[in-house]
Amino acid sequence: MLVPPLEGLGRFTHEVSQRLLPLLEENAVYMLFDRRPQPMFYYGANQCTLVIPPPARHWTLYEVWYRLSVPWALRRYRPKVFFGTYGIAPGPIAGRVPTVLFVHDIAFERHPEFLPADWRTYYRRAFRESTRLASFVIANSESVRRDLVELYGLVPEKIPIAYSGINTSLFHPLEPQERDAIRARVSRGVPYVLYVGSIHPRKNFVRLLRAYELLRRMYREPLRLVVVGRYLFKKGSREVEAAYQRLRWKEEVIWQGVVSDAELVRLYNGAAVVAYPSLYEGFGSPVGEALACGTVVVTSQVSSLPEVGGDAAFYTNPYDEADIARALYEALTEPPDARAARIQKGLQHVRRFSWEVTVQKIATALRSYF
């Protein structure tokens, strides 16, 4: 997943690798890629880059990569431990090489309806086998740990939690005049609600569009909806297009597509509210990133999102469009003093999501097999 622009799993792998390799400087770290990486993905003198075919971006090629290519590399280089940043291990050899897995989520178990059948079947088979054979499993949140215990029968005491981090050097508040300049450029100075994430049924984007329709009946001040993200799979794209075309205020929707990290920070800072009404998340980075930028967040009261939002976020029932609209309205109309206090609470809360702490937990797990 280390292919720019970095998203979810790619960002996790990048943030972890640049901190983990220096901690393991006394050991050679073989990083397995399915294509030649860019120079930015070189993390230290102890990195040994292995490019093994085939380039895997389809479940059938994942199957070949994990069942043939990765086991070949492990047999050749004989590592002391295998670290699966994606939660998948090479089944044929996982029983012979100690395996540490970082599980981000098992959304395909909770919401199988949101994936194509072939991907769903592959993920279920791969994750169930991988977690069963793994020597050590790390969960991305308390919510993910509960899922692993309930659905896969793992023992909770043997699953430590290591939250994904929020890079507060990157995601941070900007000065008020900078925020004003961002709004002037993005929405001609009009306050905007920001959505960051894939355009995918699990992210609940269609209900967000419908909630925006309801919100505009209550909130009469000028407003815009800014969308950052791309379609993930084609499933649900027709429903999104239909919902958009039916939207009375569709001229207020500003589509940004995929943006750079620097632009993402600016968009977070310029937003009046960040809306993230996802139906399921293993962590939910946009919630933490928005809080780190000093922006108010509306998110769902399900899965891991209350862990990431803490007491700073507004919460909603993601299955109820009227309730999403209600939460957005409350966030937009909160009195200034209460809003300022909420923002400070968010800045304080997000400090618990430290990449350094996450990487220390991973390094400790790996070192136990040296």
What are 284-324's pLDDT values in tens digits?
Answer: 999 999 999 999 999 999 999 999 999 999 999 999 999 99
Give the architecture-level CATH label for domain 8-165+355-367. 3-Layer(aba) Sandwich (3.40)
The third-level CATH classification (topology) of the domain covering 176-352 is Rossmann fold (3.40.50)
**What angle, 0 to 180 degrees and rounded to 10, lies between the N-to-C axes of helices 205-218 and 237-246?**
10
**Quick check: 219 pLDDT over 90?**
yes
Please give the Cα distance from 262 to 266 (Å, whole number). 7
Domains 8-165+355-367 and 176-352 share a fold: yes
Reading the block at residue 292, the tokens are 């780190």
% residues pLDDT > 90 (the chain): 83
Instruction: Give how far Cα 279 sits from Cα of 111, 194, 217, 241, Å.
Output: 9, 17, 25, 20
What are 102-111's pLDDT values in tens digits?
Answer: 999 999 999 9
Domain extents for the chain?
8-165+355-367, 176-352
Please give the Cα distance from 71 to 86 (Å, whole number). 16
pLDDT at 232: 60
